[in-house]
Structure 1
Amino acid sequence: MQLFREGMEVNLFSAVELVSLVLPHMRDQKWGRIISISSIYGREYGGSVDYMTAKAGLIAFSKHLALNLAPENVLVNCIAPGSIDFPGSTWDRFQQNNTPEVVDEFISRNLPAGKFGWPEPIGETVAFLASERADLITGTCLNVDGGQSRSLF
């Protein structure tokens, strides 16, 4: 149970706390962008139960906020990355701790693009959602996963 609580704290409650700190200013200025990083595993099976639950909660929290804050020009969205590789990541460790055959099998079964994702597309999506060009996008969760997710929603 402690591990579950810690997972919720790291992956959901920290985001809720951060939003509570910035939201009064955004409401006062009648403009704001809140962009949370969820996961494709907030929409479908994968990862630990605390991670999946927290990421699903983050998507629901964001949708609820979006619908309530849209009249105040505070837009709220999520990004759901797939398997993103960077130094020190879970996927970096996975590749280091498994044989090339195991890694290749994972990639062929799970990553239609034939490779792990990388951080820059996530950052570019955040930049777009934070811009004036995205001023009609709120309450959505965009997958940035190279086709990895299986969910239709």
Structure 2
Amino acid sequence: MIALVLPHMREQGWGRIINISSIYGREHGGSIDYMAGKAGLIALSKHLALQLAPINVRVNSIAPGSIDFPGSTWERFQQNNPPEVVDEFIARNLPAGRFGWPEPIGEMVAFLSSDRADLVTGACINVDGGQSKSLF
């Protein structure tokens, strides 16, 4: 998708590219292929951000935590496990005391897409309710 939109962004001298990664692109969690793919997406975003900053194209990534929505892995987790298992997972892993939901991710996309985020490029922003453990 980036390759398709980039020529137009270069031509107009403005653009916003926002990739959705995961906190598990920055720290341990999930399968190795998932972590490697999400880490690669963060690295791609940073690399492109540095290349495209001079032409006013901003590139960032968002790293959601455990986001629950209909049909999600977390919905299945909650449906397929006893309440005490779900409660223990939440207590151990989710400092906000609940799973995340899609709207905060969308709000971050809207912000990063706007002119208000003109100095934000090459960033990977966690939207995870404090779930991630990494200091970076």
Q: Does 1:63 align with 2:46?
A: yes
Distance across 1 between alignment mates of 2:44 and 2:115: 23
Distance across 2 between alignment mates of 1:44 and 1:132: 30
- CA shift, 1:30, in A, is 0.3
User: What value does the CA root-mean-square deviation take over the aligned residues?
Assistant: 0.3
Structure 1 residue identity aligned to 2:9:
M
Distance across 2 between alignment mates of 1:51 and 1:31: 31
Deviations 1:84-121 (A, max 9, x none): 00000000000000000000000000000000000000
Out of 123, 135, 145, the position equivalent to 2:106 is: 123
Structure 2 residue identity aligned to 1:79:
I
Aligned to 1:38: 21
Identity %, equivalent residues? 81
Distance across 1 between alignment mates of 2:59 and 2:101: 23
Structure 1 residue identity aligned to 2:48:
L
Task: Point out which structure has higher relative CO (alpha carbons under 8 A, 6+ apart).
Answer: 2
Out of 103, 117, 125, the position equivalent to 1:134 is: 117
Aligned to 1:9: none
- CA shift, 1:76, in A, is 0.1
- CA shift, 1:73, in A, is 0.2
What are structure 2's unaligned runs of at least 5 residues? Answer: none
- CA shift, 1:141, in A, is 0.3
User: Which of the two has greater helix per residue?
Assistant: 1
Distance across 2 between alignment mates of 1:144 and 1:67: 23
In the superposition, the TM-score normalised over structure 1's length comes to 0.88
Q: Does 1:102 align with 2:102?
A: no
